[in-house]
Amino acid sequence: MFYSEVKSKEQVIKDTVQTWREDFPAFQSKVHGKPLVYLDNAATTLKPRLVSQTMQDYYLYGTANIHRGVHYLSEQATQAFEATRSKVKKFINAKDECEIIFTRGTTESINLVALSYGQTFLHAGDEILISQMEHHSNIVPWQMLCERKGCILKVIPINDEGEIIVDEYETLLSEKTKLVSVVYVSNSLGTVNPVRKLIESAHRVGAIILIDGAQAVSHFPIDLQKLNCDFFAFSGHKLFGPTGTGVLYGKQELLEKMPPVYGGGDMIASVTFEKTTYNKLPFKFEAGTPHIAGVIGLGAAVDYFQSLDLTAIQKHEEDLLAYGTNQFDSIDGLKIIGKAREKKAILSFTLGPIHPHDIGTIVDREGVAIRTGHHCTQPVMEYFGVSATARASLSFYNTKNDIDTLVEALGKVQKIFQ
C-alpha cells in the first residue's frame, strides 16, 4: 500500500513561503551570529537573485548606452530597457507605454509633477490638498511650489485610528482645488486609503490627483485604468527591485502639455543655439544617461513579482498582520500606532517610555531588523503625540516565526529597561 501524506493548510503555506524565501540570498546571512529576521520592508524590500543576476549580466556582458547606438550591444541594451517600460505598463495597466516615465524613485516622480505641471498650470490662490499622513516627499515639493507660485496648501485630517476623514476631505474640496496628492498606503501606519473615492471626488471639482503608490505596488494589483488617477508614482526598490529607480505614470493628455524639467540627452529632438525642440513622450522627461542596469533590473523585479501567486501573498500578509497584532496586544506597555480598518502589514508601536532607537538597537542584537524614528512622517508623529515609533513592516517572505523572534527580543528590551 502506498501512503500519500496530506499536508495541512498551514504546512502548505509554510512550504510556499519557504520556497519564496529561497529566492532571496539575504536570508542565508547572519546578523550578530543569528539568522536574519528582516522586518524593514516599508523602507526597502530585499532583492531576489533574479534581479541582481539580471543587472550583473548587463554590466558584465551587455554594457552599452541606449537609444543612440547602432552597434549590437547598444541595440540589445535599448531593447531590454524599453522592455521594462512595456512590463510596467502592463503591470499597472496604463493605457500606453508613453505614459511611463522612468525616474530615480517616488520622490523624484512627485517633484517632477510639481516642477512641471504645478509650475506651469497652478497660480496664486489655487489650492493643493494633501493628507495628514503623507511622507515628507509628498509634502515638501508642494510647500516649495506654494512658496514659488502663491498657492495654498490644505491638509486633510486623519482620525485616531490613522484613517483619512473622508467627510473633511469632501468639505475641503472646492472650485479652488486644483491638485490633490495622497498616499495609497501609509508607510508609517499601514493605512490603505480609499483612493477610488478620493479620485472621483477630486475629479468632480475639476482637480487632478496624484497617488503615491510606493507602499502599494508590492502588496496588491494596481489597475490605473480603473482607478483613473491622473498621476501615479512608485519606487523600484520597494518592489524587490534596484534602488535609484522609479516610475511616474501620467495620463498622456497631461504629459503632452507639460514642459520638461531637465535638459539634455534623450529629451531633445533637435538643438541649435537659436532653439531646441523636445522629444516625444516619454523621452522628453528622461534627460541624460539613465540608470540602465537599474531599469533592466526593475523589469526583472516586475517579472519576478508577477510570477508569484498574488492572491496567496495577500492572504499570507493578512494572516501575518492579524497574528502580529494579536502578539503585540499581549505585550504590557506596547501601543500600536495606527489601527485602521483597512491596512497592510505594517506595525508601528511604542513600548512604554523606552525610546524607539533603544528598541531598535537591542532587537538588532537578536538578528531582527526593524525601523525606528519618524519614518519621514513627522506630522503623523506630532498628531499621535510621539517623537518616533518602532516599526515592523512585513512582506510575503516573512513568517510567524519572524514575529515570534521579534516579540521575544522585545521581552529582552523590557528586561533591560526594568
Q: Which residues does the annotation mark as catalytic?
A: 376
Please give the radius of gyration of the chain, using alpha carbons only, rounded to the nearest integer.
Answer: 23
389-393 vs 276-278, strand pairing mode: unpaired
* Crossing angle of helices 310-329 and 400-417, rounded to 10°: 20
- Quote the CA–CA distance of 134 and 132 in Å, as a whole number: 6
Give me the residue label for grid cell 523589469.
299
Give the SS3 label for residue 13: helix
Helices (H), 98-241: 106-113, 119-121, 140-149, 166-172, 195-204, 224-227
Cell of 281: 513622450
Signed CA dihedral, 34, 38, 40, 43: sign only: positive
Cα distances (Å, whole numbers) of residue 219 to 41, 157, 225, 309, 311: 11, 25, 18, 11, 10
Signed CA dihedral, 401, 38, 337, 344: sign only: negative
- Quote the CA–CA distance of 77 and 64 in Å, as a whole number: 6
The helix or strand, by DSSP H or E, that contains position 170, with its residue range, turns out to be helix 166-172
Give the SS3 label for residue 158: strand
Signed CA dihedral, 246, 250, 254, 257: sign only: positive
100-103 vs 246-250, strand pairing mode: antiparallel
- Quote the CA–CA distance of 133 and 327 in Å, as a whole number: 25
DSSP conformation letters of 305-320: HHHS-HHHHHHHHHHH
- Quote the CA–CA distance of 283 and 67 in Å, as a whole number: 10
Let me know: does 229 contact 210? Beta carbons within 8 Å: yes
The helix or strand, by DSSP H or E, that contains position 147, with its residue range, turns out to be helix 140-149
Taking each continuous run of H as one helix and of E as one strand, the counts in the chain are: 15, 17
The residues pairing with 131 across neighbouring beta strands, listed in sequence order, are: 156
Question: Could you give the maximum distance between any two Cα atoms of the chain, in Å?
Answer: 88
